[in-house]
Amino acid sequence: MQILTKDPMPWRTNQEPRSRRLCAASMKSLSLLLVAGTMMLSACGGSSSGGSTQSATLAGNWQFTLANPDPTYPVGQQYGLEGGFLLEKNGSVTGQAVYSVSNVQNGQTVVCNAGSATITGTIGGTTVNLIAGAGTQTFTLMGTLSSDGSTVTSTSGFTTNGGTPVGGSPCGAATTAGLSWSAVLVPPLTGSITGSFHSGGLPAPPLVGQDFPVTGTFTQGENIDASNATVTGTLNFIDPTTGLNDYPCLSNPRIFVNGEISGNTVVLELIGPDGSNLGQIGIPASQAVANGPQPVTFDSTTSGYVLHSAGQGYTVNTKACPLTAIPGDIGYVCLAFNGTSACQEPVTLSPASLTFSPQLLGSSTTQTITLTNNSADPSKLAVSSTNVYGGLFEGKSDFTGLPSFVVDTSNCASPPVPGASCSINVTFDPQEGCPWLPFPAPPSISGAAPEWCPFPQEATVTVSGTSLDPQTSFTVTATGLGVSAIQPSVSELDFSAEDAASNEQSPPQTLTFTNTGANSVQILPPSTGCAGQPGLPRPPTSAVSGLQVVSNGSGALGNIMPLNSNPNEATVSYFCDIDPGTKLANFQFVPGTDACSGTTLNPGASCSLQVKFVPQPNYAQSNGLDYFLELNTVGEIDSGRFPVELRANALSPLRMSPAAGLDFGIQPVRQLSNPLTITLSNDGTVANPTTVTFVGKIQVSGSSFAELDDCPATLAPGSSCTLTVTFKPSAVGFTAGKLQINYSPEPFDLPQFIYLRGTGQ
């Protein structure tokens, strides 16, 4: 969610040049002033010189509250003047304040007059008279200043002349009656802070309910007769218990803030160490929307001053949040100032998240979460857990019907009393390494192609029932990777187009499987059980081949029953790659090369086979072919995974050698790989050979890949050219890309592709 505009403080007006808003503290250096002890009231918005409270003066930051003379104004929202700064000299008062007035237009409440009001007036003894010019309205306020200079209460009240009609409706209401008003002096937003960000769940579900500790310091700038003062400082997302950065949306736990305060309303821009915009805390009251970001206010509580939000008060616009296609996070903020405990949540869970190291299927490890009751009524607390699996694994394995996470909450069956704790044990016992449906690129769709596997699985532990904000749940997310014992040498084999009408077939490609586990694993022997059948029964209880080429099918799919025979946990079946006419597959094992089917692989042992692409006449190749090599085993939980994807290009005269894919393997981050080459040729043996004309340059997707070639503008039948590709990973982890070759004449108006893969380390 993006709520920042080009000017991150949209409530400023052109009447306030930036030079007037700068404080004595330099905003360029974001230098910090840590003021120890209790916050003092100050005429300039910083610390006072003598430590005494200001008395009988209007100088400072004031939060105004005006009675609403217009019944169409939204109930519960501020009317007229909101907050701003005043200066006083010899009984004369000047200053500015933010204001906002709404009315109803076409049944909708809209802000019709807002900005910065210029204030003039006088103070004599304790008698206050102010006039605020607020755009199309003038507010006249009369009141009395308290003896300690902290509040102003109305005497004769205030009047307003109403406003210019907008959209056929008056903006504000004119009145001659004295309406009540008041103002409260707001102390400087300067000092040390401690508190938390409580995630409201964008993206959901990975962050929803998680509570992340925050510390830092803020410094407020001078009162310069503007409607606001600057606020600068730092925030640190370090868990004081673990000493680690638990907040997954920020790669660097220390960020800067740069913003403004007007009255008790605060808007802070979040800035990364590199100067990037990471989001903001708070918005102007006039921009609040239901179920969306809300103003963040600086208020007095029984435990001290607190910067907090009643609704979702912060937005983090990063790309680092895990397991989601939606960047960023929103949530609730509570930051207590100068040693107060006002922002301590009633419940804490430590650590904030659990990460399990990759482990082989069939092995298990346990970690512990500590639930501490700080102040909550235990009768209102409830502990629960859910297997989430990142939304890709449907909760349970399709081969065992069991979850990969087991959460033991028995020790917290009776939630602890305030001041006490209990422990929750989370055991990761992975049942599979990949989702059961393979698809191109997670996490935007429900599945993962083999190169993305093993894919993270998730479970959540939630304590619900009480909170400082509307988010009444506290959540810890557990994440782990299940690793299959049998690992292929490559995750994908890519084939260029071949012509079925000319009985063409590709050169063979070699594939190796290795047992990386601690126990022997048997690959099932070959059989004819798949030939001609519409779907595959659950292996290994039926006579199916040890290695088969399958797809996840289309239309109505059959079911695979798990070991517990529960039909509610059944998953889809897989369809054989069988041409209905020839009874042959499009992807075939080269005879005499399959040393894997029927083999028992001891720990560390390997076997190999070769696969070639032999397109069959009854399969439409207008969009290319995308199948998977299914590995059926005995002795491993997730037998039947799709360990290798088999992909072929759409029908074309263009051929790629040695294949239509390049795998760069593991490459150090920010280091250039050795170049890999592919020969691109125009097949002159097809029935109707034709010259190919390239349309534009070869397009490269994937910022970590670069391509050069010596291809001419046209390529005659039998001619070829060379493509050279390099890989320079920008980050740790798997990276996918591709080359797109556009040409003419192009059958089916589809380009040719060369698929690129590599892993940064």
User: What amino acid is encoded at 250 in this protein?
Assistant: L
Please report the pLDDT score of residue 393 as a whole number.
54
Nearest Cα neighbor of 348 from 416, 299, 258 is: 416
pLDDT digits (tens, 9 = 90+) for 504-523: 999 999 999 999 988 899 98
> Last residue of some domain: 344, 370, 385?
344
CATH number at residue 632: 2.60.40.10
Among 463, 483, 503, identify where a domain stops. 483
Has residue 670 been placed in a domain?
yes
User: Is residue 52 domain-resident?
Assistant: yes
User: Residue 219 domain-assigned?
Assistant: yes
Residue 6 has pLDDT above 90, yes or no: no
The string of pLDDT tens digits covering residues 637-660 is 776 677 898 999 999 999 999 999
Q: Does 279 lie in the same domain as 373?
A: no
The answer to whether residues 564 and 663 belong to one domain is: no
pLDDT of residue 268: 95
Q: Are 410 and 271 found together in one domain?
A: no
428, burial (CB in 10 Å: exposed 0-12, middle 13-18, buried 19+): buried
225 lies in the same domain as 87: no
Please indicate, yes or no, whether residues 248 and 356 belong to a single structural domain of this protein: no
Domain boundary among 296, 312, 344: 344
pLDDT at residue 51 in the model:
34
Q: Kindly state whether residues 641 and 495 are assigned to the same domain.
A: yes
Percent of the chain residues past pLDDT 90, beyond the cut: 46
The answer as to whether 528 is a domain residue is yes
Which residues span the domain enclosing 225? 191-344
How do residues 214-236 score in pLDDT, each as one tens digit? Answer: 999 999 999 888 999 999 999 99
Q: Is the pLDDT of residue 119 over 80?
A: yes
What H or E segment, with its residue span, contains residue 19? helix 18-21
Answer whether residue 6 is part of any domain.
no
* Same domain (yes/no): 138, 171: yes
Residues 97 and 244 in one domain: no
Both 423 and 474 in one domain: the answer is yes
667 within a domain of the structure (yes/no)? yes
Domain annotation covers residue 15: no
Q: Which of 27, 1, 12, 6 lies closest to 258, judged by CA?
A: 27
- Residues 749 and 639 occupy one common structural domain: no
CATH of the domain at 99: 2.40.128.120
Please tell me the pTM assigned to this model: 0.74
548 plus 421 within the same structural domain: no
From start to end of 296-402, where are the E strands? 296-301, 304-309, 314-316, 329-337, 347-350, 353-355, 359-360, 365-373, 382-387
CA–CA gap between residue 624 and residue 615 (Å, rounded): 10
For 277-289, what is each residue's pLDDT tens digit?
888 999 887 777 7
Residue 40 lies in a domain: no
Q: Does position 67 have pLDDT exceeding 80, yes or no?
A: yes
- Identify whether residues 585 and 599 lie together within a single domain: yes
- 154-163, 272-281, 437-446, 619-628, range with the lowest pLDDT: 437-446
| Strand, coil or helix: 297 | strand
Region 686-700 average pLDDT: 93
Domains identified in the chain, total number: 5
